[in-house]
Structure 1
Amino acid sequence: MDEVLSSALRSVVFARLDYLDRLAHDGDEPSRAALADTEITRLTGAWRSLLTAHQPDERGRCPQCSGRRRHRRHPCTVWTIAHQHLIAAAGPPEHRTSRHAAGAGRSTVATLEAS
């Protein structure tokens, strides 16, 4: 994917997420109800697709989160982030002192900024 197309894709996806956040926080009651009726199913479907793509193989490694010749052990960062945001009652873990981002509970996935 070339840089222009990649940038446009990031921009439109982040714009949609920003729109949904604004509607959820600032929308009136009927707008938020409509949001729940339409978008929750879409978002859960997106999470399921993403998590399915990151299912561990027979060796317990994620086929998507690979280095040059190695796949990462399960749970990969995608599964860890899913657990933090969908399951953990307190949300993402607190910042701890650690050498590595994953050890401190911080995402090891680069954050894409909308241009």
Structure 2
Amino acid sequence: MAHVLAAVLRAAMVERLAGLTTTDFGNLTSAVREILELHQPDCKGRCRECTGWPRNRKFPCRVWLIAHRHLLIPPPNQEVRHVRH
């Protein structure tokens, strides 16, 4: 199941970056794409680049989670309403 979710995450990120490439963000998307490529999972489902504790972190690693948060999750509503109780 984790491999299916990882594949969906990777596919969504590749699609999102492909859409950004057609804009003025070409260099930025190339850099993000290269960083994410370094952090692809190996055959055991662990990030190839992240080391330390826990050693060989399971995919998605922190790099993928940060990219997901900033590129795939819609930004929160900017309106802040104060309600008195």
TM-score (norm 2): 0.58
What RMSD in Å do the two structures reach over aligned CA positions? 1.9
- Relative to structure 1, is the Cα distance of residues 69 and 77 closer, same or farther in structure 2, using a 3 angstrom cutoff? closer
Runs of 4+, deviation exceeding 4 Å: none
Give per-residue Cα distances to partners, 1:11-30, cap 9 Å, x unaligned.
Answer: xxxxxxxxxxxxxxxxxxxx
Aligned match of 1:42: 27
Aligned match of 1:73: 58
Give per-residue Cα distances to partners, 1:21-45, cap 9 Å, x unaligned.
Answer: xxxxxxxxxxxxxxx53xx000000
For residues 88 and 56 of structure 1, the distance between their equivalents in structure 2, rounded to whole angstroms, comes to 22
Gapped regions of structure 1 (runs ≥ 5): 1-35, 92-115
**Alignment: residue pair count:** 54
Pairwise CA distance, 1:69 = 8.3
| 3-state SS of paired residue (1:61) | coil
2:36 to 46, 51, 57: 51
TM-score (norm 1): 0.43
Larger radius of gyration: 1
Pairwise CA distance, 1:53 = 0.1
Q: Which amino acid aligns with 1:70?
A: R
| 3-state SS of paired residue (1:56) | coil
Percent sequence identity is 48
